[in-house]
Structure 1
Amino acid sequence: MIKGKTLMKIQTISKTDNELCFVLSGIDSVYANTLRRIMLVEIPVLAIDEVTFIKNDSALYDEIIAHRLGLIPLTTDLKTYEKKDSCSCKGKGCAKCQLTLSLKAKGPCTVYASSLESTDPKVKPAYPDLPIVKLLEGQKLELEATAVCGIGKEHIKFSPGLAYYRAYPIIELKGCKDKLIADICPKKVFEFSDKLEIKNLINCDLCKACEESCKDNSIKVSASETNFIFNIESFGQIKPIEILQTALKVLEGKLEEFEYKLTKKEEKPKKETKTKKVGKKKKK
């Protein structure tokens, strides 16, 4: 546990298989941006890293097909696979940090990501209908690919998705009775009955169209400095909730490592003092 940590709250707004929207409270913009960057480039996922071509009669060069294969999102089980540099094989390559996929096709046809056959049934293309290449009559494509676990810092193909945030809106109403404000707002944040009321606060993007259009200055729009609305869109390798959970673990590990190094540096080793025996010199 890290000393002096603040209490952070998470409230889910919406959740699907590939998208997650939530409000993160009790932090500042520095923490929010740090978490966002970790989600983008420090979450390990599988991606094709090396391709051996046995036969390629298509119109595309080997390098182009290899590049396309590398960008196909592969479903990843974070409990089974880990990065090569942290694996017990010490980067040599084993079942814990890499796997093999093969592809064999004959034209005429369009080769899709679904044609990739994996040695691990849990690992497969997240979007099987992604086209790779078109083969004409008599053309063949045969290859073997090696997928490894990596992070977005190494290559964008290892990025698990998109993550972005915005400040939580704060709207103060002081008895505004202007009907037009509800229609002016592009995000339909307000509704009007007897007076102007907030209907969908979360939709507000802080454009301040309502504040600028209000003649009696009864509306004030500002951004919270401690609450943020996060959106996570997964590319399909892992679920958005896994991206968030893993990012929090990575951040906690970084803070613990920083605290350890800082404490270790403060505890400077004491210099050893050498003692000499003092005695009478013998006369020659």
Structure 2
Amino acid sequence: MQSDIYNPRRHVGVHAEYISDVSNRDFPGHYPDEDNSWNLDLFRKKLHVKVNELSQRSIQFDLVGVDASIANAFRRILIAEVPTIAIEHVYVWNNTSVIQDEVLAHRIGLVPLNVDPSYFEFKPDAQDQATDRNTLVFKLDVTCTRKPKTAIVRGTKKAEPEPEEIYNHSIVTSGDLTWEPQGEQSEVFASKPPRPTNENIVLAKLRPGQEISMELHAIKGVGKEHAKWSPVATATYRLLPLVVLNPEKPVPPQYAEKFRKCFSPGVIDIDPVTKAVSVNEKNLRNESMNREVFRHKEFEGCVELKRVRDFFIFNVESEGTYAPEKLLPESIKVLRQKIATIRSAAERLLAEIEGEPAVQGDVEMADA
């Protein structure tokens, strides 16, 4: 826990009926004799990123020392602007299943693919030529047939057999998608062939005589165009909860256990001898901030609930295209590209203003 976590200027007040101190006042001129102008060295000193939990598909990390607008920008970029590869064009040669062509195509398009998007270019238009640099080709050819008759014995009672026991390919899953290399793709992806991140996603169910035959084209895209290109299942953040005890009005010992039950497990500790309560800072992030403590008059004035405005706890779940620990760096790349675009446009605009002869009404604009 940071040493200045209890600095009141970093706090958002959580009260029984409202939230206070929502806006940040750390800007130039607000505090007398204090310089809050932008300073890169000071920003680096305050910025912290710490990974708390990491698994194969999810990550929880702390992002500390940035404004809410920056944290929210990362969240939105993770959801909508980090590129991935997804199936966009479906060519149906035969589909005799009970699922309509367009419904089945939509289900297949939502299957996440384990493909590195950096190897591909964006395909600007659907009518553009498909190449091995902008398109992946998959095939789906499945026919349901009946298995040879075999004796199915289940204890002493005769039971209805499961479809998987008497039919071949009664269930079509994402694992039935077959990659068809094009051009140099067989060499580029020799060590890691493109495939679905989860091969057990059910796409359709068939019965003898039914078949599905399709050619599928996957291209590069972003989540703001369609959710199937989003690299994350969830990307959320919350502010660090803070429980501040009032030393001038301690919790009555006889109500210590009741006070502890007002908070999430592990947040409040009780001294076994004196029955004095204390806050376990290691478990603060588990607090749900349900404000239950405000419902009891005996605790009035004993505690304050707050959140730290620049301490963001991120929870991100990857769809499998990117390793969880690579998602934030990828969002930073996108944000840097957006900033570079804005900077380039501003420089061109300034050059145009300075290059043109300024008229009387444009003098102030040219000076700016």
Where on the TM-score scale, by shorter chain, does this alignment land: which range? 0.7 to 0.9
Structure 1 residues 143 and 228: alpha-carbon distance in aligned structure 2, compared to 1, 3 A threshold: same
Q: What aligned pairs does 1:1-284 form with structure 2 within 5 A after superposition?
A: 6-7=43-44, 8-85=47-124, 92-107=129-144, 108=167, 109-119=170-180, 121-161=192-232, 162-175=234-247, 176-177=250-251, 178-193=256-271, 194-199=275-280, 200-210=283-293, 212-213=295-296, 215-267=299-351, 268-271=353-356
Structure 1 residues 111 and 98: alpha-carbon distance in aligned structure 2, compared to 1, 3 A threshold: same
Q: What code does the residue aligned with 1:179 have?
A: E
Identity score, percent? 26
Structure 1 residues 179 and 47: alpha-carbon distance in aligned structure 2, compared to 1, 3 A threshold: same
CA distance in 2, matches of 1:104, 1:179: 64
Count how many residue pairs are aligned between Structure 1 and Structure 2.
268
Taking structure 1 as the reference length, the TM-score comes to: 0.86
Taking structure 2 as the reference length, the TM-score comes to: 0.67
For each residue in 1:235-280, what CA deviation from the matched residue of structure 2 results, as whole angstroms up to 9, or x when unmatched? 222222222111011112212222232233233243469xxxxxxx
Do 2:263 and 2:289's aligned partners in 1 also have CA atoms closer than 8 Å?
Answer: no
Unaligned runs of 5+ in 1: 274-284
CA distance in 2, matches of 1:13, 1:30: 23
Q: What code does the residue aligned with 1:103 have?
A: L
The Cα shift of 1:222 comes to 0.8
Higher helix share: 2
Do 1:104 and 1:143's aligned partners in 2 also have CA atoms closer than 8 Å?
Answer: yes
Name whichever of 162-171 and 185-194 sits farther off.
Answer: 185-194
CA distance in 2, matches of 1:47, 1:150: 7
For each residue in 1:165-212, what CA deviation from the matched residue of structure 2 results, as whole angstroms up to 9, or x when unmatched? 111122212344423221221454222224222231111233232355
RMSD, aligned α-carbons: 2.4
Q: What code does the residue aligned with 2:175 have?
A: S
Which residue number corresponds to residue 14 of structure 2? none
The Cα shift of 1:91 comes to 5.3
Name whichever of 28-37 and 182-191 sits farther off.
Answer: 182-191
Do 1:51 and 1:66's aligned partners in 2 also have CA atoms closer than 8 Å?
Answer: yes
